[in-house]
Structure 1
């Protein structure tokens, strides 16, 4: 059966490999068969997060014909922390629903 392996090592950079695997192949077996550790050595340093067509799966997931196996890289910064830091830099006046008020109007309108 034919599957596609996809990995993005950096923003705007994608490695895509088409692979023919046997019936009943798991996600981990497909990565091993493709030699993923040598093509993308930075993926071997930590536990991989895998997905098929955007849905998270485990390494024991059995693949089907036409699946797109995606390898996700770890986040560098927690999104909540990044948003909090952006807010602190902007200050309370420049953000929120009522940041753009008409001149001479009341607060909140």
Structure 2
């Protein structure tokens, strides 16, 4: 009889987060845990060919073997380029003279 280990599978949408705790056999991969959790049936929009996965915030390959208490995270595609958003905010801040540039010298 093979030993089982506890792991979590996490997925988040803008208005909802789900964290499933499951027990899997030692040697189970990240992808196998996602499939075993039943999350793909609850969220049919998840496509493991498109969505990347990670363990505790670090990208990992689907065939990575899990360890006890690992959290497998399913990531959604970005809807905006973070660098582009920062550049836009910085440009708007300069145009509006935000950031303390107008404070008198002491």
State the TM bucket, normalised to the shorter chain: 0.7 to 0.9
Provide the secondary structure at the position in 1 that maps to 2:25: coil
Provide the secondary structure at the position in 1 that maps to 2:67: coil
The 5 Å alignment of 1:6-45 reads: 6-11=10-15, 13-44=16-47
Query: Does residue 1:101 correspond to 2:100, yes or no?
Result: no
Query: Does residue 1:50 correspond to 2:53, yes or no?
Result: yes
Structure 1 residues 95 and 78 mapped into 2: Cα distance closer, same or farther (>3 Å)?
Answer: same
1:72-95 superposed Cα distances (whole Å, 9 cap, x missing partner):
111100011112222333334624
TM-score, length basis structure 2: 0.81
Q: Which has the larger radius of gyration?
A: 1
CA distance in structure 2 between the partners assigned to 1:100 and 1:91 by the alignment: 11
Query: Does residue 1:2 correspond to 2:9, yes or no?
Result: no
1:5-57 superposed Cα distances (whole Å, 9 cap, x missing partner):
1111115x210101111110000111111222211112127512111112221
TM-score, length basis structure 1: 0.79
Number of aligned residues: 102
Q: Which runs of 5+ in 1 are unaligned?
A: none
CA distance in structure 2 between the partners assigned to 1:63 and 1:45 by the alignment: 17
